[in-house]
């Protein structure tokens, strides 16, 4: 491996209790070496003093700050990766991307953003592209993942960008020393789990390969030739029954003695359906008449609800919690004498997800688990009070059938 990149590691901790292991490419397939406690941090010599510096990124919900702990162990520097209001988390890599002998920091805005990629120096100022890169357009909401490595064997580092969740799988390879976009490929077809990635010389041929993983769901890793983008292998490191996400890193410092790098792998969250990258997520299944509430992919609560009657069915789709009025007066007038007219009075604990449609307490019945409403999502008292207190405005809400 060439350049100033010493180790590409994760930018966020994996789920508590996750399985983690190291693998080595041996005789055309992956062999599991040993369990590991954690994936390593991102490290590089950023200032050319011969000491290894450590980089960490702020997690989801915090200001987008990169903290550089310098190799002397005494000083640390905080760099602002994005506008302070961007609280969605971000990916991070450090490498000499323009070939000037000094490492740049590359940061990519995470899921729920347009995946803006910025190149910054240790002074916090933009490098190479003043406005950065929008790999999937300014309207994208999938975010991006990053890694770097010399994947074409020319001695220069390339920047690799992986698509985030909600977008068909894609990897872009950029030469930021004036070469621009070198090419792209789709490692997992039309799946939308997102693509985490790393590089390393896993087969000992002197040139880095590209290892990619399904970021949120799918449980799969693929290995690709860095020059032709042809697939070299696919495997499921945690077995066929594991359908969660996978996080990757490369250990180039302690290879196994045969000139190959180790692939470090960790489980991440649960399946894509639980949106493990989100701090809060609500899914309502009309076929089950049940609501599921998740925190970073972990089930926080589930309970029976009553959705819209046939003819007044609750809308299907992807929504957001628009507002949380504590009290709402529910009444509707369809016309003089119309049997569908109603006035249910003032009701407490309401979450609006469409104009005039809410998740709300329904004190007038106890038939939860059956269709009962005019399109709203009815909840009993205890669950209505709980979800009203738990859920934040802006939380994604999906209604399926």
Its pTM stands at: 0.81
What integer pLDDT is reported at residue 74 of this predicted model?
Answer: 77
What integer pLDDT is reported at residue 5 of this predicted model?
Answer: 39
The whole-angstrom separation of Cα 192 and Cα 170 is 9
What integer pLDDT is reported at residue 186 of this predicted model?
Answer: 98
What integer pLDDT is reported at residue 361 of this predicted model?
Answer: 98
What integer pLDDT is reported at residue 48 of this predicted model?
Answer: 82
What are the contacts of 220-225 at 24+ separation with CB within 8 A? 220/188, 220/246, 221/30, 221/246, 221/248, 221/263, 221/265, 222/187, 222/188, 223/25, 224/171, 224/185, 224/187
- Chain-centroid distance of CA 32 in Å reads 26
Strands of the 357-361 sheet, one edge to the other: 350-354, 357-361, 377-379
Q: Where are the domains of the chain?
A: 42-268, 280-399
Q: Which of 314, 288, 272, 242 is nearest to 19 (CA)?
A: 242
Residue linked to tokens 């003032």: 346
Residues 301-326: b if buried by 16+ CB within 10 A, e if exposed: eebbbbbbeeeebbeeeebebeebee
**Contact criterion met (CB below 8 Å) for 163 and 170:** yes
Phi and psi at residue 382, to the nearest 5°? -60, -45
pLDDT tens, residue order, the chain (401 aa)? 333 333 444 444 344 447 999 999 888 889 998 888 888 889 888 888 888 899 999 988 899 999 999 998 878 999 999 999 999 999 999 998 888 887 889 999 999 899 999 999 888 888 888 899 999 999 998 999 999 999 998 888 999 999 999 999 999 999 988 888 999 999 999 999 999 999 999 988 888 999 999 999 999 999 999 999 999 999 999 999 998 999 999 988 555 556 789 999 999 876 788 888 888 999 999 999 999 999 988 899 999 999 999 999 999 999 999 999 999 999 888 888 888 788 889 999 999 999 999 999 999 999 999 999 999 999 999 999 999 999 999 999 999 99
Q: Which CATH superfamily is domain 42-268 in?
A: Integrin alpha, N-terminal (2.130.10.130)
Q: Which CATH superfamily is domain 280-399 in?
A: L,D-transpeptidase catalytic domain-like (2.40.440.10)
């Amino acid at each position: 491996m060439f350049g100033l990149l010493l180790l590409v590691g994760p930018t966020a901790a994996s789920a508590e209790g996750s399985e983690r292991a190291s693998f080595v490419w041996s005789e055309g397939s992956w062999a599991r070496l040993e369990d590991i406690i954690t994936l390593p941090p991102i490290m590089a010599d950023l200032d050319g003093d011969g000491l290894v510096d450590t980089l960490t990124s702020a997690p989801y919900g915090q200001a987008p700050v990169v903290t550089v702990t310098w190799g002397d162990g005494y000083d640390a520097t905080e760099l602002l990766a994005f506008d302070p209001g961007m609280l969605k988390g971000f990916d991070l890599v450090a490498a000499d991307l323009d070939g000037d002998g000094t490492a740049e920091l590359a940061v990519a805005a995470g899921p729920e953003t347009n995946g803006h990629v910025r190149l910054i120096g240790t002074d916090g100022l933009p490098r190479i592209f003043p406005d950065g890169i929008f790999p999937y357009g300014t309207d994208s909401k999938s975010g991006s993942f990053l890694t770097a490595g010399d994947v074409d064997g020319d001695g220069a580092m390339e920047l690799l960008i992986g698509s985030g969740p909600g977008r068909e799988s894609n990897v872009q390879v950029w030469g930021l020393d004036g070469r621009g976009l070198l090419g792209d490929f789709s490692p997992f077809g039309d799946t939308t789990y997102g693509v985490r990635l790393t590089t390393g010389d896993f087969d000992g041929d002197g040139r880095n390969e590209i290892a990619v993983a399904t970021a949120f769901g799918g449980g799969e890793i693929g290995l690709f030739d860095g020059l032709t983008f042809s697939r070299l292998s696919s495997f499921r490191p945690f077995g066929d029954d594991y359908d969660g996400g996978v996080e990757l890193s490369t250990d180039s410092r302690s290879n196994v003695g045969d000139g190959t790098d180790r692939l470090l792998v960790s489980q991440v969250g649960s399946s894509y359906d639980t949106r493990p990258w989100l701090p809060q997520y609500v899914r309502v299944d009309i076929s089950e008449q049940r609501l599921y509430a998740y925190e970073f992919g972990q089930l926080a609560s589930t309970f029976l609800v009553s959705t819209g009657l046939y003819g007044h069915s609750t809308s299907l789709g992807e929504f957001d919690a628009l507002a949380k009025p504590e009290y709402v007066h529910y009444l509707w007038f369809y016309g003089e004498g119309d049997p569908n007219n109603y006035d249910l009075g003032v009701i407490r604990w309401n979450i609006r997800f469409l104009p005039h449609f809410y998740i709300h307490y329904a004190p007038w019945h106890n038939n939860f688990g059956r269709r009962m409403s005019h399109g709203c999502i009815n909840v009993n008292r205890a669950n209505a009070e709980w979800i009203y207190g738990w859920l934040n405005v802006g939380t994604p809400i999906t209604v399926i059938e």
